[in-house]
């Protein structure tokens, strides 16, 4: 392709990528990407070489096409000056997608690339109609290509109900008829719907990009989605008899504001009062509420779709679980093996709808477990399945428990969603008894800068983060806990710490 001493560095790197053997391909792709793209931006000096990437895309085999399509998708991102140059290859992208070569990596990468061109929505959807995309990818692509301004009422109704794809939500016509649109439910001010729409689109692009990168390097992704969550319809007990709002754990509770002792609470209708500051904490439908802010409006369909869709998609991209390395059974087994509480209640922190609360109750019994979450809606779902578990609404940053009162704490797939995780860890350390375990599932920061880009984009959209394991270990040590296990494939972090 010419004398590399007289052409741009980017063109020289293109040559090396073109000639790379199978064993050299991944490293050659990383070098090529670094010449064109850095931390979400196109390198200005490489803009003139984008046409060379388009020429190359039509001339190399599918495995290299997959990698080039990922790079072109990065260059086409909406805030990138490379978008017009990359868009010039649209006819080529559509021709490749419909040429009958079912290469999973190339297909995922082309879907990611095409999702950046909403201005070409009609020709793209017409072309992909015969490409044989699975329903998940097709529904995600269709949503990414839909501008908010031109969406009809039925499509706008899905606002807030699309991640990781509209197909995963599987909403029925009956549910649509019985539930308001999210804009109506939240009472969004004018213009706020468009902002949320754009946020969701960026999250879908991050998911599509992470899938494309993984598939281009390792092959087809394994679907993690389930039509039912194991045990979700099962109810282990009826509601508690209401004779004791604290279910025998009164000695562990304290006022979250001043840590003063609480009085009353002898019946389910009582509102415990703080003997120190006089605060009163209401009991509503069996839920003991220690949070000083009301539980704001939320999507009434969210709790029922969390485990099937949102959670599975989030774990997939944050943990790089595209190969199915970690299953629900693996998570259950880890808890069963590592949760070792000493005397006192076991707190399931940020328990959500109770999928892992149930695992804890199977080995410890419902009367030993306290479930805490900020969402009253999630806790209502938990109570419907686990009526014997004490449910508490409260903040991880102000736990309503005294010093050294808890026998153990579990925080499963939630630490990264807490606004100040270091402070939450300090609270756990304060409340744990010596010898009590703190079990955690969360995620490490990806070491690969390309994958880290997609991980970080989802974090920004969903207000969730990943961790540097060394920093996390330091926070635990400062809170008086020693790490006993830190493991996990991909970007997973399974962690067990013990209060010293």
Question: Looking at per-residue confidence, does 331 or 2 come out higher?
Answer: 331
The first and second tokens of residue 104, run together, are: 């999973």
CB neighbour class for 436 (10 Å; exposed up to 12, middle 13-18, buried from 19): buried
* Arithmetic mean of pLDDT, 462-469: 80
Residue 232 has pLDDT above 70, yes or no: no
Least confident of 30-34, 64-68, 217-221, 236-240: 236-240
The pLDDT score that the predictor gives to residue 228 is 44
| pLDDT band for position 5 (cuts 50, 70, 90) | very low
| pLDDT band for position 55 (cuts 50, 70, 90) | very high
Predicted confidence (pLDDT) per residue in 365-406, tens digit: 999 999 999 988 889 989 999 999 999 999 999 999 999 999
| pLDDT band for position 299 (cuts 50, 70, 90) | confident
In the chain, residues under CATH classification 3.40.50.150 are 250-499
Q: Percentage of the chain surpassing pLDDT 70?
A: 90
* Arithmetic mean of pLDDT, 140-153: 95
| pLDDT band for position 4 (cuts 50, 70, 90) | very low
Predicted confidence (pLDDT) per residue in 158-208, tens digit: 888 999 999 988 888 888 888 888 777 777 777 788 988 999 999 999 999
CATH 3.40.50.150 fits 250-499, yes or no: yes
The pLDDT score that the predictor gives to residue 78 is 66
Residue 227 has pLDDT above 50, yes or no: no
The pLDDT score that the predictor gives to residue 301 is 79
The pLDDT score that the predictor gives to residue 12 is 87
The pLDDT score that the predictor gives to residue 11 is 81
Residue 86 has pLDDT above 90, yes or no: yes
Q: What is the mean pLDDT of the chain?
A: 89
| pLDDT band for position 14 (cuts 50, 70, 90) | very high
Query: What's the topology of domain 9-218?
Result: 1.25.10
Predicted confidence (pLDDT) per residue in 349-371, tens digit: 999 989 999 999 999 999 999 99
In the chain, residues under CATH classification 1.25.10 are 9-218
The first and second tokens of residue 285, run together, are: 């439908």
* Arithmetic mean of pLDDT, 209-234: 74
């Amino acid at each position: 392709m010419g004398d590399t001493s007289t052409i741009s560095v980017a063109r020289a790197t293109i040559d090396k990528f073109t000639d790379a053997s199978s064993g050299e391909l991944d490293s050659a792709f990383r070098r090529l990407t670094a010449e064109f793209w850095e931390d979400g931006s196109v390198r200005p000096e490489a803009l003139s070489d984008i046409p060379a990437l388009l020429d190359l895309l039509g001339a190399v085999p599918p495995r290299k096409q997959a990698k080039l399509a990922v790079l072109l998708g990065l260059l086409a991102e909406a805030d990138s000056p490379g978008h017009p140059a990359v868009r010039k290859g649209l006819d080529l992208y559509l021709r490749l997608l419909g040429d009958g070569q079912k290469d999973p990596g190339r297909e995922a990468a082309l879907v990611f690339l095409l999702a950046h061109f909403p201005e070409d929505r009609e020709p793209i959807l017409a072309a992909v109609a015969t490409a044989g995309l699975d329903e998940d990818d097709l529904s995600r692509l269709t949503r990414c290509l839909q501008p908010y301004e031109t969406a009809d009422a039925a499509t706008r109704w899905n606002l807030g109900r699309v991640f990781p794809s509209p197909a995963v939500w599987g909403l029925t016509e009956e549910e649509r008829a019985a539930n308001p649109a999210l804009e109506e439910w939240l009472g969004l001010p004018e213009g706020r719907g468009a902002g949320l729409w754009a946020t969701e689109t960026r999250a879908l692009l991050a998911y599509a990009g992470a899938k494309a990168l993984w598939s281009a390097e390792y092959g087809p992704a394994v679907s993690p989605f389930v039509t039912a969550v194991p045990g979700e319809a099962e109810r282990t007990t009826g509601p508690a008899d209401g004779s004791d709002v604290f279910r025998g754990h009164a000695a562990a509770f304290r006022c979250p504001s001043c840590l003063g002792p609480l009085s009353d609470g002898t019946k389910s209708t009582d509102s415990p009062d703080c003997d120190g500051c006089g605060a009163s904490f209401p009991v509503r439908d069996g839920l003991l509420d220690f949070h000083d802010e009301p539980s704001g409006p939320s999507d009434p369909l969210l709790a029922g779709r969390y485990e099937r869709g949102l959670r599975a998609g989030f774990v997939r991209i944050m943990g790089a679980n595209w190969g199915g390395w970690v299953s629900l059974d693996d998570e259950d087994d880890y808890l069963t093996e590592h949760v070792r509480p000493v005397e006192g209640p076991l707190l399931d922190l940020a328990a959500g709808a109770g999928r892992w609360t149930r695992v804890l109750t199977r080995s410890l019994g419902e009367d030993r477990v306290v479930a805490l979450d900020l969402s009253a809606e999630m806790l209502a779902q938990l109570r419907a399945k686990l009526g014997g578990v004490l449910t508490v609404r409260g903040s991880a940053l102000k736990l309503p428990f005294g010093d050294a009162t808890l026998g153990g704490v579990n925080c499963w797939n939630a630490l990264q969603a807490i606004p100040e995780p270091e402070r939450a860890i300090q609270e756990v350390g304060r409340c744990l008894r010596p010898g009590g375990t703190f079990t955690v599932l969360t995620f490490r920061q990806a070491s690969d800068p390309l994958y880290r880009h997609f991980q970080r984009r989802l974090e920004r959209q969903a207000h969730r983060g990943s961790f540097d394991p060394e920093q996390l270990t330091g926070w635990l040590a400062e809170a008086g806990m020693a790490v006993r296990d830190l493991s996990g494939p991909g970007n997973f972090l399974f962690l067990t710490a013990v209060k010293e």
